[in-house]
Amino acid sequence: MTETTTDRPDKTVGLEINPVTDGYIIYQADRDRVHYLNQTAAIVFELCNGHNAIDDLARMVQQAWQLTSPPTEDVMECLDALRQEGLIR
């Protein structure tokens, strides 16, 4: 199976990313939109660096939050939301 960019999501170019106490505030100039990401969404967003495979992201979140099992469904929902908002590609 050939890998595509969606197998290893990456942040959209041109975002203004501002860390805040409880996550990120991201300004998307081309759409004149502001996005608020909580800490968990910010971690998922950071893991979208073009190198990490989608299949590994839930395991990485599990390790970051020291969970007993990977939050696969939650991570997939977060990825879908980030993709729909144009924050990752």
Q: Read off the CATH number of the domain in which 67 is found.
A: 1.10.10
The pLDDT, as a whole number, for residue 6 is 59
Domain of 74 in residue numbering reads as: 11-84
Q: What is the rounded average pLDDT of the residues 43-72?
A: 96
Counted domains in the chain: 1
Q: What is the rounded average pLDDT of the residues 31-41?
A: 96
The pLDDT, as a whole number, for residue 74 is 96
5 pLDDT higher than 50 = no
* CA Rg value for the chain: 13
In a domain, 5, yes or no: no
Q: What is the rounded average pLDDT of the residues 10-18?
A: 97
